[in-house]
Structures are given as structure tokens and as C-alpha cells.
Amino acid sequence: MPKFQLKLFSGTSHRKLAEDIAKGLGAKLSQMEVYKFACGETYARALETVRGCNVFVVQTATHNVNEDLMELFVIIDALKRSFAKRIHVVMPHYAYARQDRVALPREPISAKLVADLLSAAGADHVIAVNLHSDQEQGFFDFPVDNLNCLKLFTDYFKKKKLKNITVVSPDAGGAKDAKKLADKLGATLAVIHKARPAPNKSYVTHVVGEVKGRTCVLYDDMIDTGGSICAAMEALLAQGAKKDIYVAATHAVFSDPAVSRLKKAKFKEVIVTDSIPLPKEKQFNGLKVLSIAPLLAKTIKSVHEEKSVTANL
């Protein structure tokens, strides 16, 4: 065992997940004071010593992404100046992940910028869940553990014992991950090709793969406004797929009008993880939330004990 102590802190973005991780570790959350001054500036201070400790900070990206990030930077800086041995950032939903390349002239690569800012603040390591693209790990100048929820979804669907399954990627970019799930389930693969004229706007051009008479599982890394996933459902039904269509996605961003669209579409089930907190107003019948706390707890334990993380996946 390492000589230095493990301490787990939480920002304000997803306290419930941090508490569940702490339970999985058989530990308690360390005390952190976080508040805002009247002018909106963020203040953070650890209420116990972290000198020489292996510190993990849980902070995910929500709809207040910029505030979440600034709070995280301030927390990291406070811990660094308090002589923490190592600072590990646990960010299940990585902020600005979709801005990972220059698609149009003069665009930023904001995912790289966030990686640089985390490094500048003093982070030594990031634990993320299903980054938008695997290549984003190269944006960091320190180690990154990019955890995959494939086993979580595989176990869930195997318990349902569905027949004649086709796993469907709602776009060409997600085909590789969809293929992995299809292989695990012994299912076939289909890919939906779409055009995206503007952010959060898309339309289906055609479906590649056999979906007629089959039970389809749409598999993606996130659901934002829900437009793409609902358009994909319509395309599958038009191709003769069974009406009971499932959706599985890691990150439930659920920006408006996602919830109303998903309700109207009447999917058989919408399965997501708790990488982003979902208030009651964003929950609905047919929504199933799988916890990633056990996966994160095992990963944190492995990192602290300097053991393999991949054994948990």
C-alpha cells in the first residue's frame, strides 16, 4: 500500500455521485468549503489537511459547465497550495469534449484548452468516462484514464434476454463503439448516416445495415437535445424495425427540448448513466439510470494502490 493517505473531495456539480463513490470505497467525503462572493467569484478551501495525501476531486460537467470548470480550477489550486501529494480529477462528463477538432475554418479546439487549464491549475491525472473521442487523451500532458461503460450496458441488455438485436450507431463516428456492444451481445450492426448543417441540428440521409423486423438498440456517447436520436428512431421505423426501440447513452445532457422529444418518441427504454445529475423535471417514464459509482470507486482504489485500472472494465 502507498504510504500516503487517500482523500476524496467533491465539487458542487454532482455531490450525490461523489457520496456514492465514497460508499463504494468504504470512506467518507473529506470536507470542502465552496461558495461564491457577492460579485460571483468562487472560493474554495479544504477543511482538513491534505499535506502528502493522494487527493481525488469529483466534479462533472453540467449545464453550468463554465461555473463547474472555474470551481474545479479553484479547488485544484487550493489543494495544490496545501501540499497535496497528487491531485486526481474525476470528471465523468468531460467539459467541452465535443469541440475536439477544427471542422470549419477558425474554430477553437476547446477540449484541448480545458486539458491545458487543468494542467495549469495543478492536476496530475484525469479520470473521465467515455470521452467524445479516444484521441482526446493526447490533449493532456499527464496520464488520463478514459473509462468505458460498455460492460455496464452489456450486462443490462443481457439480463433483458432480447432476441434478434441490432445495435445501431446514430452516426458514422460512433460505429466503432456500437460494434463493440454488438459483438458483446451477439447482435448485428447498423449505422445511420446523417448530415449536420449546424450545431444541434441534423437529418438522416440513409440507414446502412439490416433492421427490418429486428429489435434495435441505438447506442451513443451522449444525448443532448435529442434531435438526432429521435430522427434515428423515425428512420429505423421507416425501414421496418420493430416498434420497441431502445436507446443507450452514457451522458444524459438533456438540453431543452430533449425530455419532451424523448417522451413524445415513446422509446421502449432510454438507458443512461449518472455521469450527469438528473433533476426530477428531467426524469420520465421509461428512463433507466445506471450508476457508474462502483466503476469509479474501483478505479480510484486501483489508482491509489498503483494497480491496473483496465481490470475493472
Bridge partners of 287, per DSSP, are 270
Q: What are the φ/ψ torsions at residue 104 (nearest 5 degrees)?
A: -125, 155
Neighbours of 46 (CB within 10 A): 19
Neighbours of 64 (CB within 10 A): 12
Catalytic-residue membership of 307: no
Kind of pairing, strands 246-252 and 269-273? parallel
Coil/strand/helix, residue 136: helix
Closest CA to 57 of 99, 130, 118, 110: 118
Neighbours of 135 (CB within 10 A): 11
Catalytic residue among 7, 85, 112, 194: 194
Q: Which residue carries 448543417 as its cell?
A: 197
Q: What are the φ/ψ torsions at residue 269 (nearest 5 degrees)?
A: -155, 150
Sort 187 into a burial class: Cβ within 10 Å, 0-12 / 13-18 / 19+. buried
Q: How far is CA 265 from CA 201, 226, 256, in A?
A: 17, 10, 15
Strand order in the sheet with 144-147: 6-10, 54-58, 86-91, 125-129, 144-147
CA 10, CA 12: separation in Å to the nearest integer?
6
Active site positions, annotated: 194
